[in-house]
Structure 1
Amino acid sequence: MNIFTTVMSGAPEQLFPLLDKTQQLLIMTDKNIVGLDCIRSFLHGIEKQGIHYTLVDDLPAEPTDTDVYQLIEHLPAQADLVLGIGGGSVLDISKLIAVLYHPDAGADKRTRFDRLLNADNPQHRIPLILVPTTAGTGAEATPNAIIALPDKLTKVGIISPVMLPDYVLLAPAFTTSMPAPIAASTGIDALCHLIECFTACIANPVGDNYAMIGMQKFFMNIEHLIDTPEDLTIRMNLLWASYYGGAAISHSGTHLVHALSYPLGGTYKIPHGLANALLLVPVMKHICAGCTEKLAQVYQLLPSAKPDLPVTEQAQALIDYLEQLVARLKLPTRLNAVGISQEQLPGLAAGAMEVKRLLNHSPVSVTEAEILSIYQSITD
């Protein structure tokens, strides 16, 4: 099986020749996506091509292990190609389902999923095509599938190169229906991927290159999206920024923002992009001393950058810009705004401490007390 991804951009109709080769196509999406005019038109086009498919359109946001168990019970018996169309949750589940349909997974998909949750990483899958409808998660470019474990107050990542799809389509027309708050929060999610990978202690030249390209596209376009949401060129650039964020994850890794956001999504179902937007600035403040030069390099990508500033001032100016950006995008900056109180913070801190895979990537080490302090800094 080829684990190298072919990336296409533009019209959805480019997928028709690829889908024409399948006998048992399984399309994975959710209720919000399947009702969109552009998606209905795309599905109608598939039907006109004479391509038969099974549609699963009730995938949940922030999927839990229980959600996946329930999904497995209602899947068709056979599939030879999975097409995932949606945000990060849809794309992650699509990756898992492509693994579970492979003959080597065995007939009992539930048992195979149990093994995946216990670090038995997948080795095979059936063909997989992913089409993101948000410019943020970068899930189409990562070898990860993230599943929430509410009982453990966190999330787990199932990771293997075979989770990378055969094809990705970046179609800006599929992102135009996103409400402004979702477009904003998913955009910040993409930025978190890029800046965390760039500042991670495991950062490397390949991941850094993806991160720098992605951040440049992000900073040059994100605020224009607010004023001209119908501009498909801007949307395409943000889709590329998101894709580069996923590619950076594949070569490096996220750290504290994601580690601290996992309990918010895993326990309280707070949307992932929104959780990351809440944590981006306080985490950058916490790690600044450990990656000042890297943050200064990111600052230099800003359209308003003043390159003559000392390095420490550039790093601080970046943090100031990020704080202003989150405010301009009208995203919440306090945990109280999403229903989290002071009494819940110790549980969040304990949950974040369990995300060792990401904590180990941080440019500065953190204690549970320091994580609690970060949460407290954004709680009234």
Structure 2
Amino acid sequence: MTINSTVIAGYQALSDIGYLLQNHRHVLLVTDKNIVGIPAVQTLIQQIGSRATLSIVDSVPPEPSQHDVAAIVASLPGKKVDMVAGVGGGSVLDVAKLLSVLCVEDAPSLEALLAGEKPLRRTASLLIPTTAGTGSEATPNAILAIPEKETKVGIISPVMLPDYVVLAPELTTSMPAHIASSTGIDALCHLIECFTATVANPVSDNYALIGMKKLFASLEKTIAEPDNLAARLDMLWASYYGGAAIAHAGTHLVHAMSYPLGGKYHLPHGVANAILLAPCMRFVRPAAVSKFAQAYDLLPDADASLSEEAKSVALVDYFAALVKRLKLPASLDELGINAEHLPYLVEAALDVQRLMKNVPCAVSADDVREVYLTLFPTLNH
């Protein structure tokens, strides 16, 4: 899959994108209530409004469902939209990508997309992330919650890859520390899962290695130094590289097992991934020792004298310690979630076959159950 997006990156990059809008008459800006008031976003709104007719959708909720997107589509203006601009976190960018293929003439319905029909074209699109984690601006995926099934579904098509991406670090400074932490762990999951997936390849490996190096050096720095724009730009790049790795490979066990947690308990995606990161990587480590050792070597304080086996174990230990240092939950117990839904969780995770087939080792229902059980340390098993 080829990513042809033009990427514009750096401090105040938003102030220099007016030329991208010069051939567009009606722009649809997609965002949420928290983002629309940010000064840099207000400046962007003024830029667009001075050049084109502007419609704004600022009602995208966290973890949107197909019903949320259907309601947004129903509310769209009748005038033809020729560019969709998404400004926000992964949920906003996913919805913007969907709207870019739903706003063209003879577009498939949302129901058809969910059933597997592929879009053939889209409007022009511009994606501007305000969190450093999902990498949605570089993936062909849009993830929607399906409340009736208590899970999530991915709509996937290279047609949804955007024309333009802007990485502006000042937009991420308003993220609370717990959001920066959980979205950062989401990026890490993308990178290490794609790097170790059965479908990994030299292109995705290159993205994953560059992204992990930037993330290991910058994630905790962005938490300790919220105004460090260089570190925040590195995290935006790490997130982008994670998305690009997904576009060329794919995630696996962490994401397959986190989807039911988001669907059933409505856990934020990054938090669900953080809880699962170390347990899932501990399970797959024996099948990916060499890859884990390569990732370990990217850590700022890596011990080059260790064997590959020792490095692979140390990487999993690092993941567990990182989640703890970032003050993210390490178990479902501490979130007040009990184990009565284990049978459902196991079945729902195994049902995410597009991701399970990427796991670098065989995975049985018992294996999935054992990994979930580690999230309930107070449970006697």
TM-score (norm 2): 0.95
The one of 237, 260, 264 equivalent to 1:267 is 264
The aligned counterpart of 1:69 is 70
Q: Which structure 2 residues correspond to residues 1-380 of structure 1 after superposition, within 5 A?
A: 4-10=4-10, 11-47=13-49, 49-77=50-78, 78-105=80-107, 112-379=109-376, 380=378
**Deviations along 1:169-216, whole A, 9 cap, x unmatched?**
001111110000000000000000000000001110110000000000
Q: Say if 1:82 and 1:128, in contact at 8 Å, map to a contact too.
A: yes
Q: Say if 1:282 and 1:377, in contact at 8 Å, map to a contact too.
A: yes
Offset of 1:76 from its aligned partner? 1.4
TM-score (norm 1): 0.95
Offset of 1:311 from its aligned partner? 1.0
252-261 vs 141-150, which moves further: 141-150
95-104 vs 189-198, which moves further: 95-104
CA distance in 1, matches of 2:274, 2:8: 29
Offset of 1:50 from its aligned partner? 4.2
Offset of 1:36 from its aligned partner? 2.1
Q: Say if 1:278 and 1:333, in contact at 8 Å, map to a contact too.
A: yes
CA distance in 2, matches of 1:14, 1:367: 52
Q: Say if 1:255 and 1:358, in contact at 8 Å, map to a contact too.
A: yes
CA distance in 2, matches of 1:246, 1:50: 31
Offset of 1:51 from its aligned partner? 3.4
Letter in 1 for 2:250: G
Offset of 1:234 from its aligned partner? 0.5
Offset of 1:376 from its aligned partner? 1.1
Offset of 1:135 from its aligned partner? 0.4
Offset of 1:237 from its aligned partner? 0.4
153-162 vs 350-359, which moves further: 153-162
User: What do you get for the CA RMSD once the two structures are aligned?
Assistant: 1.4
| Number of aligned residues | 373
Offset of 1:359 from its aligned partner? 0.1
Offset of 1:20 from its aligned partner? 3.0
Q: Say if 1:62 and 1:266, in contact at 8 Å, map to a contact too.
A: no
CA distance in 1, matches of 2:271, 2:18: 34
Letter in 1 for 2:170: A
18-27 vs 201-210, which moves further: 18-27
Offset of 1:243 from its aligned partner? 0.2
CA distance in 2, matches of 1:123, 1:338: 43
CA distance in 2, matches of 1:99, 1:141: 16
CA distance in 2, matches of 1:320, 1:172: 30
Unaligned 5+ segments in structure 2 are: none
Q: Say if 2:197 and 2:359, in contact at 8 Å, map to a contact too.
A: yes
CA distance in 2, matches of 1:233, 1:56: 31
The aligned counterpart of 1:109 is none
Aligned pair in 2 of structure 1 residues 234, 181: CA closer, same or farther (>3 Å)? same
Unaligned 5+ segments in structure 1 are: 107-111
Q: Say if 2:95 and 2:142, in contact at 8 Å, map to a contact too.
A: yes
